[in-house]
């Protein structure tokens, strides 16, 4: 029996989420037939994810009745038949509500199927001399073997109706002895790695993700991003997302020779290394950016404003953004005036208020505060909703304020007179000091993040809660 000729390219959904059956155009005449088994542009247009195949494998099966499976591997596969026919069976072995779902279909050269990571795959040849071929998007490695999940071909729950009874089929002993569904440990989701987990944002992410067993946290001591062995430091195929909360943020020290080298190392070289890992393993890379990538001459900064950093810190953050933007799956989360669990402006002002000091504070720099719990919430929102990849401004909402206005508000919340804060210009404040240039206007447009369904809380509300927590007995 030959393949069906001249079918249009098309796709059909199946009962297993992510498993898609394809009809392939096969062109034939008296000499034989021809088909495009994999054509990236056409296949993605037909509904197949651009899954990035890196290896092509072929299984030749001498006799009808050869049966293999049920194996779930930690990568995606695009399966088709070069010659002959197979009865294919697929069982969802992933953790989640579709665990145990079954789909079967007959494949010949005019059909193909996409099988995502964690879906068990099996087939039985229906003709002698059948060649079964599959593209995979990761190379086999010993590290990946502990992510395999197996199911017995004769499992009563899956109840696969094999055309040739398994008692008459050709099976390996290993396949005969795989566990029943009740004894299978489902394959969990790919892991998330939070880098820079001990900083202000990293601490907020730890709190937000504390109950998620699929999330790992790494401090600088746990993972050296500047190590030449980063590419093999972890089994990256087991991960789906890296959140980079690490950064060099000593704005003024970055202007020194030693600080400049450190800023470029952490904010650019290390980021490039993460970007390379993410691109090679098809991971989503979340990277936190800064208002310092702009010169502050625009009243409101949009995501597509050309980068125009003033100082070394801003230059390194802009360079890091440019690198991350080359990763196919990326989110650049641009924020400003970050406040979290650690040393920051609000804590300093509250401390000064408690000591009875009347400070001079810059009044010609304006923007919005960004509380780390809300930055973390926005990052998780982008990931969970699978928002379009790209750059998103994320700060708290409300009217822009100057540093002096925020300081006066902190003083009021601490029971001091806001008038004890004196406003000065940036030039006056830094007179006689070695300081980096700063953008005077740092207000970021929040239209794009709001359009994804995320509404940042008002900065003034968060500030009141934050100061109340600081001053609580």
Tens-digit pLDDT profile for residues 228-276? 999 989 988 889 999 999 999 999 999 999 999 999 999 999 999 999 9
Q: Which residue has the tokens 């145990």?
A: 100
191-471 fold: Rossmann fold (3.40.50)
Phi, psi angles (nearest 5°) of residue 363: -115, -5
* 2/316: higher pLDDT: 316
d(CA 50, CA 137): 10
Both tokens of residue 248? Answer: 């060099």
Is 466 annotated in the active site?
A: no
The single-letter DSSP state of residue 415 is T
Closest CA to 126 of 166, 66, 179: 66
Among 132, 134, 429, 466, which one carries the catalytic annotation? 134
pLDDT of residue 415: 95
Is 71 annotated in the active site?
A: yes
Both tokens of residue 94? Answer: 């992933």
Q: Helix, strand or coil for residue 418? A: helix
Triad 469, 470, 473: Cα angle to 5°? 80
- Please determine, for residue 55, whether its predicted confidence score (pLDDT) is greater than 70: yes
Residue 370 · residue 291 · CB < 8 Å: no
Q: Quick one: pLDDT band at residue 52, thresholds 50, 70, 90? A: confident
Q: What is the pLDDT of residues 401-419, one digit of tens each?
A: 999 999 999 999 999 999 9
Residue 266 · residue 293 · CB < 8 Å: no
pLDDT of residue 370: 98
Q: Helix, strand or coil for residue 101? A: coil
d(CA 294, CA 208): 30
Cα 256 to Cα 116, 175, 249, distances in angstroms: 50, 64, 13
Average pLDDT, the chain: 94
All structural domains of the chain with their residue ranges: 10-183, 191-471
The single-letter DSSP state of residue 145 is G
Sheet containing strand 191-195, strands side by side: 215-218, 191-195, 239-244, 284-290, 330-335, 390-393
Q: Does 10-183 carry CATH code 2.60.120.10? A: yes
Question: Can you tell me the mean pLDDT for 350-355?
Answer: 96
Triad 25, 31, 34: Cα angle to 5°? 25
Question: Can you tell me the mean pLDDT for 24-30?
Answer: 87
Q: Which residue has the tokens 């099976």?
A: 171
Alpha helical stretches, state H, 186-334: 200-208, 257-264, 270-280, 312-324
- Please determine, for residue 36, whether its predicted confidence score (pLDDT) is greater than 70: yes
Q: What is the pLDDT of residues 154-206, one digit of tens each?
A: 999 999 999 999 999 999 999 999 999 999 999 999 999 999 999 999 999 99
Extended strands (E) in 204-359: 215-218, 239-244, 284-290, 330-335, 338-339
Percent of the chain past pLDDT 70, that is, above it, reads 99
Q: How far apart are the first and last CA of the chain?
A: 82
pLDDT of residue 235: 87
d(CA 255, CA 101): 59
Q: Quick one: pLDDT band at residue 50, thresholds 50, 70, 90? A: confident
pLDDT of residue 1: 59
Q: What is the pLDDT of residues 111-168, one digit of tens each?
A: 999 999 999 999 999 999 999 999 998 887 766 677 899 999 999 999 999 999 999 9
């Amino acid at each position: 029996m030959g393949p069906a000729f001249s079918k249009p390219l098309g796709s059909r959904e199946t009962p297993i989420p992510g498993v898609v059956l394809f009809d392939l155009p096969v062109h034939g005449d008296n000499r034989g037939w021809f088909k495009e088994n994999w054509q990236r542009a056409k296949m993605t247009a037909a509904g197949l994810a651009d899954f990035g195949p890196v290896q092509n494998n072929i299984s030749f099966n001498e006799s009808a009745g050869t049966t293999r499976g049920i194996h779930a591997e930690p990568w995606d596969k695009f399966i088709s038949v070069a010659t002959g026919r197979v009865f294919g069976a697929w069982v969802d072995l992933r953790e989640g509500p579709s665990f145990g779902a079954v789909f079967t279909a007959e494949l010949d050269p005019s059909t193909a199927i996409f099988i995502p990571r964690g879906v068990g795959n099996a087939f039985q040849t229906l003709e002698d001399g059948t060649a079964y071929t599959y593209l995979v998007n990761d190379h086999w490695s010993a590290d990946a073997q502990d992510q395999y999940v197996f199911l017995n071909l004769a499992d009563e729950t899956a109840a696969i109706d094999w055309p040739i009874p398994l008692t008459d089929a050709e099976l390996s002993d290993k396949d005969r002895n795989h566990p029943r569904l009740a004894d299978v440990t489902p394959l969990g989701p790919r892991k998330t790695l939070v880098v820079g987990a001990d900083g202000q944002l990293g601490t907020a992410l730890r709190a937000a993700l504390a109950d998620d067993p699929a999330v790992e946290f790494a401090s600088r001591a746990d993972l050296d991003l500047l190590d030449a062995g980063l590419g093999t430091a972890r089994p990256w195929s087991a991960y789906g997302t890296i959140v980079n909360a690490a950064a060099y943020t000593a704005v003024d020290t970055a202007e020194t020779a030693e600080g400049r080298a450190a800023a470029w190392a952490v904010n650019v070289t290390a980021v490039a290394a993460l970007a390379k890992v993410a691109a090679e393993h098809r991971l989503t890379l979340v990277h936190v950016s800064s208002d310092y990538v702009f010169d502050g001459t625009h009243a409101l900064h949009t995501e597509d404003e050309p980068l125009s950093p003033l100082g070394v810190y801003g230059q390194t953050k802009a360079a890091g953004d440019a690198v991350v933007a080359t990763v196919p799956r990326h989110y650049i989360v641009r924020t400003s005036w970050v406040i979290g669990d650690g040393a920051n402006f609000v804590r300093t002002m509250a401390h000064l208020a408690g000591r009875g000091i009347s400070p001079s504070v810059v009044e010609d720099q304006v923007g919005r505060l960004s509380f780390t719990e809300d930055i973390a919430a926005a990052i998780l929102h982008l990931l969970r909703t699978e928002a379009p990849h790209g750059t998103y401004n994320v700060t708290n909402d409300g009217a822009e304020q100057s540093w002096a206005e925020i300081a006066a508000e902190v003083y009021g919340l601490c029971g001091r007179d806001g008038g004890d804060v004196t406003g000065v210009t940036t030039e006056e404040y830094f007179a006689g000091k070695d300081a980096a240039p700063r953008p005077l206007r740092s207000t970021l447009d929040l239209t794009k993040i709001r359009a994804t369904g995320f509404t940042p809380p008002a900065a003034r509300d968060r500030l009141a809660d934050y100061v109340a927590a600081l001053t609580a007995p």
